[in-house]
């Protein structure tokens, strides 16, 4: 059974308001690396080149509001270009974020970004999600899989009380929510083409 709790909750307001100038500068540098490298490699749509900040960086910052002070570890499942894993790692330096990406070229890009930006709390794992075994406080899923598949992948990886933060698409259908999870649906923000965040945990 799933539950929808306080829909419309806006935990962060301006997603950049709590970031330091150094964090903002790092995110700007990440945006440039996406434009210069990830788009030519086909990791991010070329049509998004002029709206990377709104469409991707600020969209990913929505997940920061879910991170609690007691959370210490997270997986970014199917990290791709590091969205949201790199963004969350920059914004939450006390959280160790493992960027899980089985495709070697994308893993190489992620390692390049981590090294270039000095994101010391982010590590790259060139494994399939199925091969992971360490349990974590959080899993992030953005453009990784449909919600049921993402929950099945995350469920066994979460510590008791752990959460999956799922970035749903514009056409998200609540009927797809798995029956064995509690789901908190956070209404879409004003960001272009953003769907809701769905925060899921075990019953």
8 Å CB contact between 102 and 80 = no
**Mean pLDDT of the region 171-197:** 80
For tokens 């008791």, the residue is 160
The answer to whether position 1 is within a domain reads: no
Least confident of 89-98, 120-129, 166-175: 166-175
The answer to whether position 69 is within a domain reads: yes
The answer to whether position 4 is within a domain reads: no
Q: What angle, 0 to 180 degrees and rounded to 10, lies between the N-to-C axes of helices 21-33 and 104-117? A: 150
Q: For residue 173, what pLDDT band results from cuts at 50, 70 and 90?
A: confident
For residue 174, pLDDT beyond 90: no
Structure-token pair, residue 81 = 């270009």
Give pTM, 2 decimals. Answer: 0.89
Q: For residue 189, what pLDDT band results from cuts at 50, 70 and 90?
A: low
Nearest Cα to 80, choosing from 165, 140, 7?
140
- Enclosing domain of residue 47: 21-202
> 141 pairs with which residues across the strands?
77, 166
How much of the chain exceeds pLDDT 70, in percent? Answer: 91
For residue 183, pLDDT beyond 70: yes
Q: For residue 154, what pLDDT band results from cuts at 50, 70 and 90?
A: very high
The confidence score (pLDDT) of residue 193 equals: 62
Structure-token pair, residue 5 = 């709790």
Give the integer Cα–Cα distance in Å for 81 and 158: 23
The answer to whether position 174 is within a domain reads: yes
* pLDDT (tens digit per residue) in 135-148: 999 999 998 989 99
Residues in Cβ contact with 126 at an 8 Å cutoff, skipping those fewer than 6 apart: 101, 102, 104, 107
The confidence score (pLDDT) of residue 176 equals: 85
8 Å CB contact between 27 and 95 = no
Q: For residue 201, what pLDDT band results from cuts at 50, 70 and 90?
A: very high
CATH number at residue 73: 3.40.50.150
The radius of gyration of the chain from alpha carbons, rounded to an integer in Å, stands at 16
| 151 burial level (CB within 10 Å; 0-12, 13-18, 19+) | buried
Domain count, the chain: 1
The answer to whether position 12 is within a domain reads: no
Give the integer Cα–Cα distance in Å for 93 and 50: 28
8 Å CB contact between 187 and 7 = yes
* Cis amide bond preceding 84, omega within 30: yes
């Amino acid at each position: 059974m799933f539950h929808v709790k306080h829909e419309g909750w806006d935990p962060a307001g301006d997603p950049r308001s709590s970031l330091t100038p150094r964090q903002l500068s790092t995110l700007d540098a990440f945006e440039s690396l996406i434009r210069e490298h990830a788009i030519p490699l086909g990791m991010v749509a070329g049509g998004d080149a002029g709206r990377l900040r709104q469409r991707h960086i600020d969209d990913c910052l929505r997940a920061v509001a879910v991170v609690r002070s007691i959370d210490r570890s997270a997986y970014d499942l199917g990290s791709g270009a590091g969205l949201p894993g790199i963004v969350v790692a920059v914004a939450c330096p006390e959280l160790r974020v493992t960027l899980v990406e089985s495709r070697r070229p994308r893993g190489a890009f992620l390692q390049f970004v981590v090294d270039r930006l000095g994101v010391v709390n982010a590590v790259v794992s060139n494994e399939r999600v199925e091969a992971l075994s360490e349990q974590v406080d959080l899993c992030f899923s953005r453009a990784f899989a449909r919600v049921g598949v993402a929950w099945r992948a995350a469920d066994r990886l979460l510590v008791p009380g752990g959460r999956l933060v799922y970035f749903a698409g514009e056409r998200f259908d609540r009927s797809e929510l798995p029956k064995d999870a509690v789901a908190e649906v956070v209404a879409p923000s004003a960001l272009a083409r953003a769907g809701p965040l769905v925060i899921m945990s075990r019953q």
